[in-house]
Amino acid sequence: MLRPILVACALALTACGHAVTAEPPAVARSHTPAAAPLIATPEVCPLPDSGFECGFQKRIQDAKNYAETRPGTVGIVLRDRKTGAMWRNDHADDLTWTASTIKLAMIVNLLERNRSGKIKLTSDDRRLMTAMLHSSDDDAADTLWKRYTGATFNAAFPKYGMTGLVAQRGYSATFPYWGYEKCTTNDLDRLINYVLDTVPAEDRGYIVGQMRQVGPEQQWGVWGPDSGTKNGWSKEDGGWVMNSVGFVGADERYTLAIMNNLKGEGGYDEGRETDTEITRILFR
């Protein structure tokens, strides 16, 4: 009987003793490095000091690049009247023939003198003024320049921001004469903003309305269904100049002044295309 008892005890000790347990399966180790966290690349804005939002800055840069490929030199000044942002290119202070853009300053002066009682505009005067704005009529400008004294006009123009304006001697028997003056694109920028910000509401409404519905002669440059313009074009002793100044937007939010001095490197068609394409790049 002793052997069975010993065998049973041995079995019991085996069952109750220190049994060997299996090791857990090894965890597989990955040899692939962890992915780096994603970091957004900041948007690159080409003209951060201009005050315009980044998308508009890119359009401005495109317009600048385009202008540099065109015949002659092109001065450009762009302004956002709502935010105060403004951009001008390197030729914005070049002295350039005004051509008929100065007729806009003439209209401002005539309305100012009439409002102050210094003159009394007749119905014929107003008809001529409308012709100057609508079709850029030179004969109308000549008549009003003589009728209301050219020197008086010129003395007033700096008040409207045209501080760089210079009447040119030696081109006509009359001096000063509206047809022979030079100014800068900065001057035209200040002029259009004087019209929109300072001219009394009734007079401003007349000017803005006329600029929005110019005739086919002026339907280029800063012109379109949401724009208004006063253009000037002429062939001078240094070649053609093609200028355009106006506003864009239902509330005239943006102003744009362009002066293209072709310097004999192109003519009317090239200048008209330049001014119109710059406006399209920026706004259309």
Q: State the CB neighbour count (10 A cutoff) for residue 266.
A: 18
pLDDT for the residue 43: 81
What integer pLDDT is reported at residue 188 of this predicted model?
99
The model scores a pTM over 0.75: yes
The pLDDT value recorded for residue 9 is: 36
- Percent helix, strand and coil across the chain, each to the nearest 5: 45, 15, 40
- Cβ contact 120:172 at 8 Å: no
pLDDT at residue 77 greater than cutoff 60: yes
User: What sign results for the dihedral spanned by CA atoms 189, 191, 193, 195?
Assistant: negative
pLDDT class of 5 with cuts at 50, 70, 90: very low
Going 120 to 126 to 128 to 130, the CA torsion angle's sign is positive
Q: Which of 245, 259, 244, 254 is nearest to 284 (CA)?
A: 254
Q: Which of 69, 38, 24, 22 is nearest to 265 (CA)?
A: 69
pLDDT class for 39, splitting at 50, 70, 90? low
Q: Is 240 helix (H, G, I), strand (E, B) or coil?
A: strand
**Distance from C-alpha of 241 to C-alpha of 264, rounded to nearest angstrom:** 9
Q: Tell me which DSSP letter residue 224 carries.
A: S
Task: Please report, rounded to a whole number, the percentage of residues in the chain having pLDDT higher than 90.
Answer: 84
